Structure 1
Amino acid sequence: MSVITRSRKSSVLGGIALAGAAALVLAGCAAGTSSEPTESEVEARDLTLKIGTILPVTGSLSFLGPPEEAGVGLAASDINEVAEETGLTMDDIVWGDSGDTDNKAYATTIQTLISEGVSAAIGAASSGVTKLFLDDAVAAGIITFSPANTSLDFTTWDDNDLYWRTAPSDKLQGEVLANLVAEDAHSNVAVLYLNDSYGTGLNDVFQENFTGTGGTIVEEQSYNTGDTTFDAQISAILASNPDAVVLITFDEIYTIGPALLAAGYPAEDLYFVDGNLKNFSADDKWPADVSLEGAKGTTPAGPSTPEDFQTRLNDWWVADGNSELTDFAYANESYDAVILLALASLAANSTDAADIAGKLQEVSGGSGDGEKCESYADCADIILGGGVADYDGYSGPIGFDEVGDPQEATVGIFQYQADNSFSRIDL
């Protein structure tokens, strides 16, 4: 058995149903049914799949790095656990840092992953970062598989069928967020958003849906990546006297959030999104005496993560000397991304990126003609037996459409407690 770890031997490189909110099922055209398997397709496999990561070890989304890497590593270990039975081994992962659009760690990482000959790169978390290296990955013929990209732009990207994601687009999160704010009886809302593809896209969808409920946007302020001072934006927002403030940010929340609270704005009228929804209770960067109790937020979350799965993720992560996980954001989606790649490789009987990409819709259930299964081992048995597997994972049914977007996805709603931790409230 080969066990994948996050050790430095592989160096780090420089809806289903929603309570209290609307569910959106993303529908797409399904591919045609698969032909009957040939004898060569059901014979034993002998495959070694090599993937890399381009996830945020540093930068404004670095809080997402640990859960995403844990999801990738645990999935690879589960795949290798049954390698003798399936004939597919996950080679040592080439771990890489995406950084952000400011420190540009992705530029080195993507070139290293290409030179290492990976079939697929897991990442990035930031839509803005992925846009900066995606064309290079496509030109090199490798799959880019993001567990966290939500920008609407990827739906129409010219990616030669090599871009996939387990996170839903912001069309869903924007709708859920708008309905949440409206259902909380807010009607005059201010928005502060990051001026990049993620922030502008989510802001546009939120505003369209919120005004559609009869609400009014009383103030809209933006800022750019790398900005460190937000006094003008905060003053404009407070002057508009909003009954709620939506904050579409990344790590800038460490400055913006305490400033709003210090000015007397009530925490229960603040709304967060996936870029800044984090557990601040164990975060030295957040002032211990500043409470977010009552604030709410949304993030693509899939069904509630089972406690036993969270335990397994944490056990894998700490086994390499890391501190315990305090956040599990996008761990489900990261795990499922790796499992889907392995299943597609089995179905194609190939580790060639184009061949794998050609089977991803099928093994996700997007073609609509597979047998349901919920674990890698069970799905692999179906494939090796000559059938079509339809993997339903920790992030949900998935069911890719023809452009690599999940057709079914869920956004969770969370609320902060007095200690600045948060819990899910839409279950």
Structure 2
Amino acid sequence: MNGPLRGARAVAVLGVAGLALTACGGGGEETAAEPSASESGSSSSAPAEQNTGDGVLTIGSLLPQTGSLAFLGPPEFAGVELAISDINAAGGFNGQDVGYVEGDSGDATTDIASQTVQRLLGANADAIVGAASSGVSQTVIDAITGAGVVQFSPANTSPVFTDYEDDGLYFRTAPSDVLQGRVMGDLVVSDGHLDVALLTIDDPYGSGLAENITSSVEAGGGSVVANVVFNPDAPTFDAEVSEVLAAQPEALVVIGFDQTVRIVNALVAQGSGPQDLPTYFVDGNLSNYGEEFAPGTLEGVKGTLPGSATSAEFQARLKEVDPALNGFEYAPEAYDATVLIGLAANVAGSDAGTAIAAELQGVSREGTACTSYEECAGLLDAGEDIDYNGFSGPVEFDENGDPTRATIGIYQYGPDNMYSNIEYREGSLG
């Protein structure tokens, strides 16, 4: 993504110093680690003045332009921008276009996210879409919700947010890793592997997903013979790979982000690459690696990713926003989060964060089904209750802001180190 306005659908972007958008493929070696699940979620910055609305709906984004999840940034940004374009094409909010402020989330132990949040709050953002990383969200959730602003993540999957004290202002379109862990464990065991090893990033995302995969593997009659936790900033992963291989697993699940390239190379160097040891990826490292590996390196590797199929039409519209897109991970979730914010503001008749939050559960369930902002807004104008079903699937929130049901896609890599879908599994949470 090379700038805020691309393609035929221009989005009104409010300029904020220091929030330049750049195209990134993945985090470099300078990327900082995310905090452990035990670390505080509070930001070091004092909360901004309470958001009470100013009549102009302003949405901010807190998504990865830098760091270990930067490869997820372009599709997520495109989803937000496309949704705001659609909202504005349908009349916007309160007779005015919805404003949009972009921001980089960085990584959890840098100060990028907290600085971005303060800038977004200073720009009168009523809702912030992000972060993608659960660890990053933990560092800023108190600052965002403490200011009376909605935080709406398209990709947080850590179970820690289900019971987090957020004053009812935190929502997510991605399901908790309770479901992804269940599906991954079922997948590995059903593939005939009972002795399973995990190589897990040391952060809330990693620990939560590892716990749920372990429970699922054990429920299926298998066992986790090793769960080796790694520091994402380690210069090499040779020792961790050796420890995993010493447990003689029948399969390996790698839970991480862009460190996966070095992990796979270490596995290959020690004679146990994916062609020797059945290997599985999760949503944090399921990416089209292409020429980053020799042809065939990842052939047969399977992975999981929350979300239903992304239609060709939706992909084409996203490419109008960002022609350089080569993946669509969490774009539907980012789009739906933004549309839901707009619909909730419409119902509330207010852009105040607390007013929007109060209506988000209602617009997601128990009304007339609708699948676009324009269609849903028309039903609201006619006095009907609505049930928004989006590109990420039928979104229905519980009292914690979690989706109550979701789809997990199962993917497999071909000889070109690119992945494609082989199956979808649906499940309910709670």
Q: Please classify the TM superposition score into its range, dividing by the shorter chain length.
A: 0.7 to 0.9
Give aligned pairs, total: 382
Residue number in structure 2 paired with 1:66: 74
1:237 is aligned to 244
Correspondent of 2:90 among 69, 82, 94: 82
Alignment partner of 2:56 out of 48, 61, 69: 48
Unaligned runs of 5+ residues in structure 2 are: 1-7, 21-53, 425-430
Tell me which amino acid in the other structure corresponds to 1:278: S
Question: Is residue 14–residue 100 contact of structure 2 (8 Å, CA) maintained in 1?
Answer: no
1:312 to 2:312 alignment: no
SS at 1:400's partner residue?
coil
Check the 8 A contact 2:14/2:101 in 1, yes or no: no
Cα separation, partners in 2 of 1:406 and 1:12, compared to 1, 3 Å: farther
Question: Is the Cα–Cα contact under 8 Å of residues 185 and 216 in structure 2 kept in the other structure?
Answer: yes
Q: Distance in 2 between matches of 1:388 and 1:73?
A: 26
Partner of 1:294: 300
Contact 2:60 2:100 in 1 (8 A): yes
Matched residue type, 2:298: L
* 1:65–1:8 Cα change, 3 Å: farther
Q: CA deviation at 1:11?
A: 5.8
Residue 348 of structure 2: aligned partner: 348
1:391 aligned residue (360, 372, 388): 388
Decide whether the 8 Å contact of 2:12 with 2:99 is kept in 1. no
In the TM superposition, 1:325-344 aligns within 5 A as 325-344=325-344
Which residue identity lines up with residue 280 of structure 2 in the other structure? Y
Deviation per residue, 1:382-404 (Å, 9 max, x gap): 11111111100011111101110
Deviation at 1:266, TM superposition (A): 4.4
What is the TM-score of this pair, normalised by structure 2? Answer: 0.85
**Cα contact 2:11–2:84 (8 A) shared by 1:** no
| CA drift at 1:4 | 4.0
Q: How does 1:355-394 map to 2 (within 5 A)?
A: 355-365=355-365, 368=366, 370-394=367-391
**Alignment match, 1:197:** 204
The verdict on how the C-alpha distance between 1:96 and 1:62 changes in structure 2, with shifts beyond 3 A counting, is: same
Shift of residue 102, structure 1, vs aligned partner? 3.7
Q: Distance in 1 between matches of 2:166 and 2:266?
A: 41
- Quote the offset at 1:289 in angstroms: 4.6
Partner of 1:214: 221
Q: Report the 3-state secondary structure (helix = DSSP H, G, I; strand = E; otherwise coil) of the residue aligned with 2:328.
A: coil
For 1:313, the aligned partner's letter is L
Q: 5 Å matches for 1:9-28?
A: 13=19
The Cα of 1:216 is off from its aligned counterpart by 1.6
- Judge which range, 233-242 or 221-230, deviates more: 221-230
Checking the alignment, whether the CA contact within 8 Å between 1:296 and 1:415 is kept in structure 2 is yes
Moved more, 99-108 or 72-81: 99-108
Where does residue 405 of structure 2 map in the other structure? 408
State the percentage of identical aligned residues: 45
Task: Name the structure, 1 or 2, with higher relative contact order (CA <8 Å, separation 6+).
Answer: 1
Whole-angstrom distance in 2 between the partners of 1:327 and 1:239: 35
The alpha carbon displacement at 1:241 in A equals: 1.6
Task: Give the superposition deviation at 1:12.
Answer: 5.9
Secondary structure of the structure 2 residue equivalent to 1:297: strand
Deviations for 1:98-134, whole angstroms, at most 9, x for unmatched residues?
0112433102101111111100010000001000010
The residue identity in structure 2 corresponding to 1:83 is G
- Secondary structure at the residue paired with 2:74? helix
Residue 423, structure 1, aligned to residue 420, structure 2: yes
Deviations 1:272-306 (A, max 9, x none): 00110001116xxx2345620000000112x2111
User: Structure 2 CA distance, aligned partners of 1:10 and 1:307?
Assistant: 34
